[in-house]
Amino acid sequence: MDDPRALGLPLQAVNGIPDARHYWEESFRGIDAETYDFTKSKPAASLAEFCISHLHEGALILDLGCGGGRNAQFLAMQGYRVYEIDVAAAAARFCHTRFARCELSGTFAQGSFTHIPFPNASFAAVICIAALDHGTLGEAKASVAEMRRVLSPGGVILLTFDPPDTDEDIIHEAQVLSDGTLRFVRGNQKGMLFRRYNDQEITDLVGTNHIISFRHTTKGTRVVVAQ
Ligand SMILES: C[S@@+](CC[C@H](N)C(=O)[O-])C[C@H]1O[C@@H](n2cnc3c(N)ncnc32)[C@H](O)[C@@H]1O
């Protein structure tokens, strides 16, 4: 894949990036990847089983909303070829440094749930962990279609959603948008979006016929594997 947005060339702004981007930019700017202890951020518990059950050796995987790269690092260490995108350019830069320090190779770019900067049918899998609930419902719907656009035939998607009661203690800091998404307008998470999905909404978002598995972890995280 020869994409100009791969790291090494300038990261480009992408249409459709929401204002919440600034919240995430600032979050990652505040962390020094040169000194950060990466052992502190373990991969999502659902990832190892997903790899065993659904991925072939060396598969090409997109980590959408990669954040600090804890999941991508795990995948790269298992020998998968990993592409990471995040709405925050600072997150992509953080991951670049993480991979360099860990002597791993990967490709990093800025992009969004609704604008994935790669061609159709590029990846064997897309993972989007603890991320899709940080957009509006409209964005999430468009994103699922966008994930399917970049999946190769037979490819799989791994999605996780936080428990619906997350952020209960700081609900008073948020505005409720018309689709139920919380937009934090005060406090440490000012600018962040978070939508609390119930199970039926997740099923509707992905489409019943597309779901391969849907389970709850002991902490209440919903883990969905879909086509
Ligand atoms: C809670 S973090 C999870 C990060 C990572 N997936 C993990 O499991 O550690 C949510 C991530 O979603 C990213 N994000 C938020 N809105 C996004 C959007 N519209 N498009 C792409 N990424 C987005 C944020 O920048 C952040 O890195």
pLDDT for position 170: 79
For residue 88, give the nearest of 45, 42, 30 by alpha carbon: 30
Judge contact between 147 and 64, C-beta under 8 A: yes
Does a structural domain hold residue 177?
no
Task: Flag whether 159 is in a domain.
Answer: yes
- Spatial separation of the C-alpha atoms in residues 110 and 118, rounded to whole Å: 11
What does the pLDDT profile of the chain (227 residues) look like in tens digits?
A: 434 344 333 333 334 444 899 999 999 998 999 999 999 999 999 999 999 999 999 999 999 999 999 999 999 999 999 999 999 999 999 999 999 999 999 999 999 999 999 999 999 999 999 999 999 999 999 999 999 999 999 999 999 999 987 777 778 899 999 999 999 988 888 999 999 999 999 999 999 999 999 999 999 999 999 99
pLDDT score recorded for residue 215: 97
The answer to the question of residue 175 being in a domain is no
Our answer on whether the CB atom of 70 is closer than 6 Å to any ligand 1 atom is yes
CB of 174 sitting under 6 A from ligand 1: no
What is the CA(88)–ligand 1 centre distance, in A?
8
Beta-bridge partners for 194: 182
In a domain, 209, yes or no: yes
pLDDT given at position 23? 93
Contact 110, 169 (CB under 8 A): no
User: If you take atom 10 of ligand 1, which residue's CA is the nearest one?
Assistant: 131
Decide if 183 is inside a domain: no
Strand-pairing partners, residue 81, are 60
pLDDT for position 172: 86
**Ligand 1 atom 17, closest CA:** 87
Q: What's the pLDDT score for residue 7? A: 32
**Residue 65: CB within 6 Å of ligand 1?**
yes
pTM value is 0.92
Q: How many whole angstroms from 145 Cα to the centroid of ligand 1?
A: 18
- Give CA separation, 61 vs 98, 151, 154, 201, in Å: 18, 9, 13, 26
- Residue 170 falls inside a structural domain: no
CATH of residue 61's domain is 3.40.50.150
Residue 92 lies in a domain: yes
3-state helix, strand and coil shares in percent for the chain, rounded to the nearest 5: 35, 25, 40
Name residue, tokens 């699922």. Answer: 144
Number of domains within the chain? 1
How far apart are alpha carbons 27 and 188 in whole angstroms?
10
Query: What pLDDT sits at residue 168?
Result: 75
- Whether 18 lines ligand 1, by a CB cut-off of 6 Å, is yes
User: Is 93 within a domain?
Assistant: yes
Regarding the beta carbon of 134 and ligand 1, being less than 6 Å apart is answered: yes
Contacts of 93 (CB under 8 A, 6+ apart): 28, 33, 108
The finding on whether 91 has its CB within 6 A of some atom of ligand 1 is yes
Q: Alpha-carbon distance 177 to 159, whole Å?
A: 23
| Domain range for 73 | 20-165+199-226
Amino acid identity of residue 112, one-letter, is: S
